[in-house]
Chain A
Amino acid sequence: MSPSVLRRKLLRDLRGRVWQALAVASVTFLGVCLFVASYLAYESLDHSYTVSQERTNLADMTLDVVRVTEAEVREVAALDGVAAADWQVVADLPVVVPDGVDPEGRRGRVLAEGRFITVPLGRQPHLNQVVVEEGSYPDAAGEVLVERHFADHHGLGPGSTLLLQTPAGDEPLTVSGVAVSPEYLWVARSRQDFMPAPAEFGVVFAPRETLAAAAEGLLPPGFATEAGNRLIYSLDPEAEADPDTVLERVKEVLGAANILAATPRHKLVGIELLQMDLEGLRETAIAFPFLFLTVAAFIVAEMMNRRVDEERVAIGTLMATGVGRRAVLGHYGSFALLVGLFGAVPGVAVGLALGGRMAVLYATVLKIPFVTAHVDWLVVTAGLALGVGAALAPGLLAARRAAALSPAEAMRPFVQAGAGPGPGSGARRTGRSGRTVRTGPARLLLPLWLRLAGRNLARHPIRTAGTALGVAAALVLIITTGGMLDSMDWGVRLVMEKSEVYDLRVAWLRPARAADIREAVSGIEGVEQLEVILALPVQVTRAAGGGEDGAAGPGGRTDDTEAGEAYNTVLYGLPAAGAGAPAARGLMNPVDSRGVILEPSRGQVVISSNIAAKLGISPGDEVRLRLLPDGPELTATAGPLSMSLVGNSAAMLLEDAAAGFGLEGCANVALITTAPGRRVEVRDALQDLPGVARVSDAAAMGELMRTALNLADAVLWVMLLFAVVLAAAILFNTVTVSVLERRRELATMRAIGMRAARVGWVVTTENALIAALGLAAGFPLALAVLRFFVRLFASDLFTLPVHVYPRTVAAAFIGVGLTLLIAQRPSLRHVARMDLAESAKLRE
């Protein structure tokens, strides 16, 4: 047979299996398209972040310090390995937006917390430059730049006014422009609060002179004019100095005790969050295409192996007439290659087009200042190779089987398919041993249709295992995604219903007498419950000798946000249960991942599990807490570990915290519940209380969380759709192949009088058994994968409790089952419509 005839056969084979080929091509297309688009978008965004940080000279290292002077900055700048250094004042101050938008969406006077960051007047700083997108850089006293997110929320622009609240009264500031900064592309207040509502928190870039004049009395003496609380420096790339060595030199200049936190650029909270987000995109760009292409490979393997089995006689005949093994290999390999190309080439083309758009869309949402479209041809080539390879590799394996056939063996006349391996195998022919088989007790216990279905699974163990694996994969995908959503929902419920059950949280600029706070707040009409607490910035360290030996501690974990083995967080001083005002107890409670409220006892501190993990602290260890920036220190015993969904914290009894830090009788935060329908009114009244820095609305926080949940929900549905598509592709293909190769058997059943519905029932039973196998194997695997992913994404910024609702499990099981039922419909229809006369004559 000439090669041109083989080519014609190839084309006819493709036409004859057009739906199966299309199924493979579609799954390959999706996999390749998703890979190319997502990975290119990831690379473009990663590049855009880097470019944005480089073009704005974002410092390599940021040191939060008690105080740094101009002279010290010059000294640091002169150190070996340091290219440039500068200082800033970073202060969170109460600011009023006269015509702002409150969390309810109402326009009016809104009290917010402004993060004031100093910049030079009239010129960009050398380090940590900002990109002015609207208006101009401040060149006159009293002018400031407002960060884009805050500006957009409140509708601020050049010429708008902000009022800085000071003990002396409101200081007006004029907005000269709107800017973005790579450090605040994700606006986070701290590692404990990285999703502040834009109505309540924003970043303001103020010239030093402006802040010094406006915030007099709010800042320590000399701040903003000659000293600051943040040192930033960049490394000299030519010096190639070790960053840790340089940091040590800087510490020598500033004094180690002066340094509160040393944070490399990539660990700045906003940048780390963006990077986590970006990593998520990268993982998606790999994981999902991997799934799709695995499915494609599976289908091709199934399809090609069946085809080789079906065409044994033809293959034998071809070889007997002189067609070489290489030609047979090429013929069958070409089929897989073509199917792979049909999917991969359009996948690459569409992926290329989508990748750029995805990057731009993402960059626009995040307000990235410098967007660079990036086409990495290596990614494109990899996409093409993966797509073609997914089809070609299993295709070549089947082709090798075809080429390895002995012509005489392949052309052997009809051999009844038995219980052994593939048709015509030697095992079957030697199987006529006279041994009685398959007449065990099962025959007496199980009905024939069930035995038949079960044995068909055993007849094709690889196909059965493959399909069960597909079902398991679909279940893993659904349970993992659904479980992530459940865990998120459970975490939010823990926060909203158990941990933070207040409506409003009011923070004072400085601790005040608790009695005064209580009196001022309780006088507001509409306030129902009130709890006054302390919320203090502290640095947590494990006391020497506490718990296990040093080897189990945070040695080597010089966490980048703290100086040495320490962690900066917020400490809540909470009233004892039943003490003081029992009715007001329980508006803030540390909880564990099961929702059990943890009551700190006397001398005990309850810390978040993620802080404990970072510092190697176990319950019972001695823990040191230092009040930031340079306050006193206390020691407490670590109690049970708490769960923090967002950020992290520590909690102890109010009287312990107050006594330890010299704040007896003081509080700086009030937690309030309001009468129904009075929340907004109470919030407005609270904003007017003297000394109040911020009023946080739990409803706004809840809204943000719900928005995040909605996003997760959308992702879940997309993933669910993927899972259904994958399950359908696997099941459709397997069931179709299974029915096609058993046409004669099924036709015989119908010929002897079995109704089509009953034949369908046998096929359905088989599929149900496979699904049961897959589900049984998939469920524990799904839980393990869910735990793995939850742990993978856990950090000191975000911790999810692992939780799966029974409804999710039920939906996953039912969903897979329904998919199977739907996927088998075409082949069952085929059974019902098959030409019995023709099919009964077929040779297997």
Chain B
Amino acid sequence: MPSAETLVRLERAEKTYGTDVKIRALKPTDLEFRRGELVVVLGPSGSGKTTLLNLIGGLDRPSAGRVLVDGVSLGSLDPDALADFRRDKVGFVFQFFNLIPSLTARENVELAAELSGTADRIDPILEAVGLADRAGHLPGQLSGGEQQRVAIARALVKDPPLLLCDEPTGAVDFETGKAILGLLQEAVQRRGKTVLIVTHNSALAAMATRLIRLKDGAVASDEKRPSPSPAAELVW
């Protein structure tokens, strides 16, 4: 039985792509993520990191097994219910930010806030990510780090319990990356979010409260880290 603190639970969840040539991206996996964890999933390309993230985020469905978030099996949800799930439970942070190019930074955040009815959080969140003075700029007028901050603000404004981050520092420089990771760490520590970061950058392991290593679509190791380092102290 999952504990009350369990937010995400994978039960023999697996993912296979292709019809003629089957590619098993994720082998049958059992995992649980608790509230308030900052989980870093490490692994080389093709290890199944993003697949795991997509299954948890409801962007993809498992070929077999179950993925439960807050006790709800995602496989039982129709497309609209899945959209509602993503609206209420998940915030995504993508490697390439995925901002809407024709909307300003504030409006990108507003788009998510409108969906979840949390418009009053827009300005505080922008303030929190340090973008209050850049709120009126279009993504094309922002640096990569600023764009990623907007993406984090967009994810946080909905106040979801779970943040899923796919290589959040992959497209930004070292200093900017550390600042981004600081924001994510803060989301865990101050806001009690569960943050799941998938990356191939092993330097990020130091900030995790839990470190999972994936290899060839399977969990190679899963360790708790009682004393995570502040993001600002990371080096790579």
To the question of whether A and B form a pair in one complex, the answer is yes
Give the total of B residues in contact with A, Cβ under 8 Å.
Answer: 49
Q: For the complex formed, measure the closest distance between the CB of B55 and the CB atoms of chain A, giving whole angstroms.
A: 9
Q: Is the CB of B94 within 8 A of A840?
A: yes
Q: Is the CB of B98 within 8 A of A840?
A: yes
Within 8 A of A (CB), among B145-202: 147, 154-155, 158, 171
Nearest B residue to A436 by beta-carbon distance? B136
C-alpha gap A840/B151 in the complex (Å): 13
Q: Is the CB of B111 within 8 A of A448?
A: yes
C-alpha gap A841/B54 in the complex (Å): 11
Contact with B along A776-801 (1 / 0, CB 8 A): 00000000000000000000000000
* Contact with B107, one of A433, A451, A750 (Cβ below 8 angstroms): A451
Most buried by A among B111, B135, B158: B111
Verify if A266 is at the interface (C-beta below 8 Å from B). Answer: no
Q: Is the CB of B106 within 8 A of A754?
A: no
C-alpha gap A747/B50 in the complex (Å): 16
Chain A residues contacting B45 (CB-CB under 8 Å) are none
Q: Is the CB of A438 within 8 A of B83?
A: no
Q: Is the CB of A431 within 8 A of B140?
A: yes
Within 8 A of B (CB), among A690-734: none
Q: Is the CB of A416 within 8 A of B110?
A: no
C-alpha gap A749/B87 in the complex (Å): 10
Most buried by B among A416, A456, A750, A755: A416
C-alpha gap A416/B144 in the complex (Å): 9
C-alpha gap A443/B79 in the complex (Å): 31
Q: Is the CB of B83 within 8 A of A439?
A: no
Verify if B29 is at the interface (C-beta below 8 Å from A). Answer: no
Contact with A along B122-153 (1 / 0, CB 8 A): 00000000000001111111110001000000
The segment from A277-285, A317-325, A417-425, A673-681 found at the interface with B is: A417-425
Q: Is the CB of A837 within 8 A of B50?
A: yes
Q: Is the CB of A750 within 8 A of B83?
A: yes
Chain A residues contacting B101 (CB-CB under 8 Å) are 416-419, 459, 745, 844
* Contact with A439, one of B54, B57, B102, B136 (Cβ below 8 angstroms): B136
Chain B residues contacting A663 (CB-CB under 8 Å) are none
Chain A residues contacting B99 (CB-CB under 8 Å) are 416, 748
C-alpha gap A367/B121 in the complex (Å): 82
Chain A residues contacting B85 (CB-CB under 8 Å) are 753
Chain A residues contacting B102 (CB-CB under 8 Å) are 419, 452, 455-456, 458-459
C-alpha gap A754/B83 in the complex (Å): 6
Q: Is the CB of B158 within 8 A of A414?
A: no
Contact with A along B87-119 (1 / 0, CB 8 A): 110111011111111111011001110111000
Verify if A667 is at the interface (C-beta below 8 Å from B). Answer: no
Verify if B20 is at the interface (C-beta below 8 Å from A). Answer: no
Q: Is the CB of A437 within 8 A of B110?
A: no
C-alpha gap A753/B157 in the complex (Å): 13
C-alpha gap A432/B134 in the complex (Å): 11
Verify if B120 is at the interface (C-beta below 8 Å from A). Answer: no
Q: Is the CB of A448 within 8 A of B114?
A: yes
Q: For the complex formed, measure the closest distance between the CB of B94 and the CB atoms of chain A, giving whole angstroms.
A: 6
C-alpha gap A456/B139 in the complex (Å): 14
Nearest B residue to A447 by beta-carbon distance? B114
Verify if B70 is at the interface (C-beta below 8 Å from A). Answer: no
Q: For the complex formed, measure the closest distance between the CB of B235 and the CB atoms of chain A, giving whole angstroms.
A: 24
Q: Is the CB of B86 within 8 A of A438?
A: no
* Contact with B87, one of A437, A451, A754, A835 (Cβ below 8 angstroms): A754
C-alpha gap A428/B104 in the complex (Å): 14
Q: Is the CB of B98 within 8 A of A753?
A: no
Chain A residues contacting B92 (CB-CB under 8 Å) are 748, 751-752, 840
Verify if A832 is at the interface (C-beta below 8 Å from B). Answer: yes
Q: Is the CB of A753 within 8 A of B139?
A: no
A751-B140 contact, Cβ under 8 Å, with A419-B102, A745-B101, A840-B94: no
Residues on B close to A: CB < 8 A? 50, 54, 57, 59-60, 79-80, 83-88, 90-92, 94-104, 106-107, 110-112, 114-116, 135-143, 147, 154-155, 158, 171
Q: Which 7 A-B pairs have the closest CB atoms?
A: A418-B140, A753-B87, A436-B136, A455-B102, A439-B136, A748-B98, A837-B54
Residues on A close to B: CB < 8 A? 414, 416-420, 428, 431-439, 443, 448, 451-452, 455-456, 458-459, 744-745, 747-757, 832, 835-837, 840-841, 843-844
Given A416-B139, A417-B140, A753-B87; 17 other pairs, CB 8 A cutoff: A417-B139, A431-B140, A431-B141, A435-B137, A443-B107, A448-B114, A748-B98, A752-B86, A752-B154, A752-B158, A753-B84, A754-B87, A755-B79, A835-B60, A836-B60, A837-B60, A840-B92
25 contacts between A and B (CB under 8 A): A416-B140, A417-B140, A418-B139, A418-B140, A419-B138, A431-B138, A433-B141, A436-B137, A438-B138, A439-B135, A448-B107, A451-B103, A452-B100, A456-B102, A458-B102, A459-B101, A745-B100, A748-B92, A748-B100, A749-B100, A751-B98, A836-B54, A837-B54, A840-B94, A843-B96
